[in-house]
Amino acid sequence: MLAHWSLAAIHLLVFALGFWAVLTRGTALRRLAGGADAVRNVLMADNVWGLSALVLLITGGMRAFGGFEKGSDYYLHQPLFHLKMTVLLLILLLEIVPMIALIKWRMARGKGQAIDSSKAGRFARISHIEALLLLLMMVAATGMARGITLG
């Protein structure tokens, strides 16, 4: 019982941290697009966002398929779970381009080279869309927790 509770608490806390990080990254990217020197803030927030996403994937997978919650049969037959996984896929697809660009930024900074911040505004918008999608996932999760099936 304590393991179930701990895993759920970690999952929820890391969700909040990831939400903060992706919003912070978006805000820092918007500042960078406006000419501010915010690269360090972008990369720090991106690190937290990436780590949060990894922990969310692990804890979410454990909760859904590791025997810690209602069981995989429940989740696989729950429309709100399918909504959550669709939204997760959208977030992952949206994240591909910014992730690659930010890796290149890190490599350039490591070599003492300038970064190409020309797409910072676009990446800011993507980050804020991802934050909204995270909120949609939370709404779906609260419905699942209450046994709402939409069917």
Residue 133 domain boundaries: 2-145
Q: Write out pLDDT tens, residues 49-60.
A: 999 999 999 999
Q: Which residues of the chain have pLDDT under 70?
A: 151
Q: Flag whether 63 is in a domain.
A: yes
Q: Flag whether 151 is in a domain.
A: no
Q: Write out pLDDT tens, residues 79-108.
A: 999 999 999 999 999 999 999 999 999 999
Put simply, whether the predicted model's pTM sits higher than 0.85 gets the answer yes
Give the Cβ contact number of residue 56 at 10 Å.
20
Phi, psi of 146 (to 5 degrees): -100, 5
Q: Flag whether 150 is in a domain.
A: no
Instruction: Write down the pLDDT at residue 127.
Output: 98
Q: Flag whether 102 is in a domain.
A: yes
Q: How many domains does the chain have?
A: 1
SS3 for the chain is CHHHHHHHHHHHHHHHHHHHHHHHHHHHHHHHHCCCCCHHHHHHHHHHHHHHHHHHHHHHHHHHHCCCCCCHHHHHCCHHHHHHHHHHHHHHHHHHHHHHHHHHHHHHHHCCCCCCCCCHHHHHHHHHHHHHHHHHHHHHHHHHHCCCCCC
Closest CA relative to residue 24, chosen from 10, 51, 44: 44
